[in-house]
Structures are given as C-alpha cells and as structure tokens.
C-alpha cells in the first residue's frame, strides 16, 4: 500500500488543524483538488488508497475520494465528512459507491467546485453554529446607536464570548475611536474592499485590532468611505462563521452594502429617543431596514429629566408598529467617560451596562451559541443562512432587551 504524501501548497496563515485527505490515482483529478484546496487556503494530504497510517483516515477533517479509488475503501471504518468525486452524478454507480463507503455527498467537477471550496474551508476551520448577530440602527441622527453597539460588544466580551464589532457606517466616525483604540495596530475596512467570495474567518479575526477583549472592524481616517456589496457579504459571512457574537453598527440609510449586512443579522435593535420627531424619523428608517430584516425591534431611549419624560415606550412601539424590546434610560456621565477614552458599557453598575448584560444573559440562555461558528448559507452571503438556533437567539435577545430596559435606572448623560 502506498504511503501518503504532502502537497507542495503553502498552508493558510493561522492554520491549526490538518488539511483534507485526498484519495485518488487520477492525476487530473488530483491537480484539480490541489487547486481547490489552495483556494480554500489549506495544505492537503494525498494518497492513492487507504493511508498506510489509518490514523490519517480518522483524523483528517475531511476526506475527498475519487471514484477511481472508492472500491479500495470498502470495509473501512465509517466516519463523517467523506465526499466522493464522480464524473457524472446522474450515473447510478457513484451513488452505490457512496453508500458503500459512507460518503455524505457525491460531487462532479467543475460544477461543484464552489461548494467544495467552501466545504474544505469549513472543515479545516472547524466551524460550528454561526455567531448570534445583532444589528443596531439609530432611529434618527445622534440617537446613540454607535454607543449601544459598542456597549453590547464590550459587555459580551466581558462575559467571555468571542466578540466581533463591525462598523458598517462609513460616516459614523469610527468605532475604534469610540473605544479609544484609533492608534491600535490592525486592519481597517479599506483593506477588505477588494474581498470577494470567501474570507478565512480565523485570518479575519487575527488581522483586526483587539480592544477591550474584542475584535473591531472599523474605518481608518482616509477618504475611502464606500464598502462594495461583495466585500460586505464576504466579511460578514466570515465574521459569522467564527461563532460567538457579532455586533454591527448600521447606518440609517439602507444602500446595497447595508442590505448585505442586514441579510446576515439575526435581530435588529432600532434605537428611538422618546420624542415625536425621533419617532417620525425612525419610521422612515424602519421602512428600508424591514425590506431586508424581518426581526426588527424598538429600544426606546429615555430623555434626561431636564427635557421631560417624553413619549411612553409602549406608545412608540405602537406608532412604529414594531415589537418593543425595552427602554434604555439616560446615563449620568456617559459623555465624560467617552471623552476620556472609557468605552461604553465599562461602568458595570450603569444603566447601559446593565441593559447589555441582561440582553446577553437572555440571548445566551435562549440559543447557547458559543465557540466557533458557521452557517452554510452565510458562507455564501445569504440572509436565509440563519439556522433554527438563530430564531431562538433573536427571540431570547429581544426578551433580554425588554428585561434590561425595565431594570436599568439612570438620570443624566450623553450619547454619541
């Protein structure tokens, strides 16, 4: 029996698992599979038959078998993650071979190349359930969406969740500035504007600035303020595959790039100050958001006492014809904290932090997303990729916001 060999392709940066195992004697097929592995950013192991070290058969994250060698694997121990490559999926023979070796799928090339590249990358990255993804939108300018998004991310990271904060508003001033990390080394959005297809989730995470135990994708101080829709789709899909929590600060105006981000959001929080003009502005913003995101909920942001009590949150929700996720009181000293570089949500006993902590406590109990994450549809950049767990996560998150709003207390402060 022939010994296994390693391909000459370079390994992906940050690789921490072995590459797929390729079993074929067809040189043309082997070349194609090596090319696809390179596209997925991994180093495969190639063998003409069952490897001499059977541990490779069991340990490989994925096994790709050419139909020319499938007969040699009859009787091999069953394992998940076996793909059979056949010349014609309409032929009965490859399906019989797939049953015999326990393959999960029969695939023909080149038709199945895109799917196979994603499957290889998923297997090598070791992804699991997708990240719970929360989008925050301001009902009007200055409502405080960036502050709430930053606080949600800070409190999520403080509880040990893998957290990524995405600044999808190119005119928002930069979430790295909000978190006091504008000088921190790491890539910003302009480095990803040419992204297409699949972005490696581990490489994305490692390349971003690390602030307050979370990763932040923000803007630099340059003049480039546009995110191409394919780049937004690719980056958001990579962020979700990494698992944990993704918080997205979204602009009020829904353009094509924003729509791509919204398509991968599980639950949206529309932050509306408790004043009539804010409600009118928020109604216009909600129309564009709801064309893409079905689960949109209102968070009523209370006004300071010196400005009166404002509209009751229940009335705002009724006027908006949206579910009420809760009320977020005004917080004393928030503007002063932000000006000193103290991140939002850092004051653990403040209303903002308490709101966010309760939010994540309910969300975590509702859907239990931890560790690495993936949604096959999200890998292709589609909103329909959200799995059943995402629906539960959205419901839990909304309940968290409501409970937090009822419990939080505060008086004077500022939002950005």
Confidence category of residue 258, pLDDT binned at 50, 70, 90: very high
Task: Reduce the DSSP state of residue 296 to 3 states and report it.
Answer: strand
pLDDT at res. 51: 63
Mean pLDDT of the region 302-307:
65
Least confident of 45-59, 221-235, 384-398: 384-398
**Among 190, 148, 168, which Cα is nearest to 260's?**
168
Q: Are 72 and 55 in contact (CB under 8 A)?
A: no
- Is residue 275's pLDDT more than 50? yes
Q: What angle do CA 320, 292, 397 make, to 5 degrees?
A: 65
Q: Which residues pair with 39 in a beta bridge?
A: none
Task: Provide the CA 416 distance to its chain's centre, in angstroms.
Answer: 25
Name the percent of the chain lying above pLDDT 70. Answer: 80
pLDDT at res. 309: 64
Q: Indicate the pairing of strand 45-47 with strand 5-6.
A: antiparallel
Mean pLDDT of the region 261-274:
94
Mean pLDDT of the region 78-83:
92
- Is residue 307's pLDDT more than 70? no
Residues whose CB falls within 8 Å of the CB of residue 51, separated by 6 or more in sequence, listed in order: 3, 4, 21, 23, 45, 57
pLDDT at res. 390: 28
pLDDT at res. 283: 94
pTM for the model: 0.70
Cα(31)–Cα(33) distance, integer angstroms: 5
What tokens does 394 get?
A: 């959205």
Mean pLDDT of the region 166-184:
86
Encode pLDDT of 48-59 as tens digits: 766 655 678 888
Confidence category of residue 195, pLDDT binned at 50, 70, 90: confident
Task: Reduce the DSSP state of residue 278 to 3 states and report it.
Answer: helix
Q: Indicate the pairing of strand 105-107 with strand 210-211.
A: unpaired
Cα(394)–Cα(389) distance, integer angstroms: 9
Mean pLDDT rounded to a whole number for the chain: 79
């Amino acid at each position: 029996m022939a010994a296994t060999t390693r391909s000459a392709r370079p390994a992906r940066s940050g690789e921490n698992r072995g590459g797929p195992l390729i079993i074929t004697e067809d040189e043309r097929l082997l070349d194609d599979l090596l090319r696809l592995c390179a596209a997925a950013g991994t180093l495969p192991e190639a063998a003409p038959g069952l490897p001499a070290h059977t541990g490779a058969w069991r340990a490989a994250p994925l096994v790709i078998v050419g139909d020319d060698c499938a007969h040699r694997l009859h009787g091999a121990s069953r394992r998940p993650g076996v793909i059979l490559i056949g010349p014609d999926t309409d032929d009965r023979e490859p399906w019989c071979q797939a049953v015999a070796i326990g393959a999960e799928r029969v695939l023909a090339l080149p038709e199945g190349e895109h799917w196979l590249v994603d499957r290889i990358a998923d297997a090598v990255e070791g992804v699991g359930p997708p990240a719970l993804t929360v989008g925050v939108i301001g009902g009007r300018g200055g409502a405080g969406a960036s502050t709430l998004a930053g606080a949600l991310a800070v409190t999520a990271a403080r509880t040990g969740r893998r957290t990524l904060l995405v600044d999808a508003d190119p005119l928002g001033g930069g979430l790295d500035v909000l978190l006091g990390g504008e000088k921190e080394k790491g890539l910003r959005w302009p480095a990803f504007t040419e992204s297409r297809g699949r972005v490696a989730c581990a490489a994305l995470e490692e390349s971003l600035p690390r602030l307050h135990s979370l990763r932040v994708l923000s803007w630099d101080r340059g003049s480039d303020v546009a995110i191409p829709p394919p780049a937004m789709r690719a980056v958001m899909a990579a962020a979700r595959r990494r698992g944990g929590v993704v918080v997205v600060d979204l602009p009020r105006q829904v353009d094509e790039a924003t729509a791509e981000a919204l398509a991968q959001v599980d639950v949206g929080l529309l932050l509306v100050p408790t004043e009539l003009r804010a409600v009118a502005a928020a109604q216009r913003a909600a129309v564009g958001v709801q064309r893409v995101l079905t689960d949109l909920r209102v968070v009523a942001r209370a006004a300071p006492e010196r400005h009166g009590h404002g509209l009751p949150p229940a009335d705002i929700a009724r006027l908006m014809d949206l579910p009420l996720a809760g009320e977020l009181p005004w917080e004393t000293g928030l503007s002063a904290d932000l000006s000193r570089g103290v991140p939002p949500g850092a004051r653990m006993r403040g209303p903002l932090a308490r709101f966010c902590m309760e939010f994540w406590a309910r969300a975590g109990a509702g859907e239990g997303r931890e560790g690495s994450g993936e949604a096959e549809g999200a890998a292709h950049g589609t909103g329909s990729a959200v799995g059943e767990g995402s629906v539960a996560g959205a419901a839990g998150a909304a309940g968290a916001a409501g409970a937090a709003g009822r419990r939080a207390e505060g008086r004077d402060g500022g939002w950005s």
